[in-house]
Structure 1
Amino acid sequence: METSENKSFFDRFSDWSTAAAGSPSAFLIALALIMIWAGTGPIFKFSETWQLVINTGTTIVTFLMVFLIQKAQNKDSKAIQIKLNELIAAHEKASNRIVDIEDLTEKELDKLHRYYQKLSDLAEEDTDIHQSHSIDAAEDNHEHKMRNKIIHQQIEEEDK
Structure 2
Amino acid sequence: MSQKASFFSSFASAISNWSGKPLTFMLALAAVIVWAVTGPMFNYSETWQLVINTGTTIITFLMVFVLQNSQNRDGKALQAKLDELILTSKASNKFVGVEKLDERELREMSALLMKEAEKVEDKAEAKAASR
TM-score (norm: length of structure 1): 0.72
* Aligned match for 1:12, one of 7, 10, 14: 10
How many Å separate the matches in 2 of 1:111 and 1:8?
37
The answer as to 2:118 corresponding to 1:121 is yes
Unmatched 5+ stretches in structure 2: none
How many Å separate the matches in 2 of 1:26 and 1:39?
20
Q: What residue number does 2:85 align with?
A: 87
- Ranges of 4+ aligned residues in structure 1 off by more than 6 Å: none
Amino acid at match of 1:54: I
Q: What is the root-mean-square deviation in Å for CA atoms of aligned residues?
A: 2.2
Determine which structure has more spread, i.e. the larger CA radius of gyration: 1
Q: What residue number does 1:112 align with?
A: 109
Question: Which has the larger share of helix?
Answer: 2
Q: Which has the higher contact order (CA 8 A, sep 6+)?
A: 2
* Aligned match for 1:38, one of 36, 39, 42: 36
Counterparts in 2 of 1:44 and 1:116: CA distance versus 1, 3 Å: same
Aligned partner of residue 121 in structure 1, secondary structure: helix
How many Å separate the matches in 2 of 1:8 and 1:103?
24
* Aligned match for 1:28, one of 26, 29, 34: 26
How many Å separate the matches in 2 of 1:124 and 1:95?
19
Give aligned pairs, total: 127
Deviations 1:54-86 (A, max 9, x none): 000000000001001100110110011001001
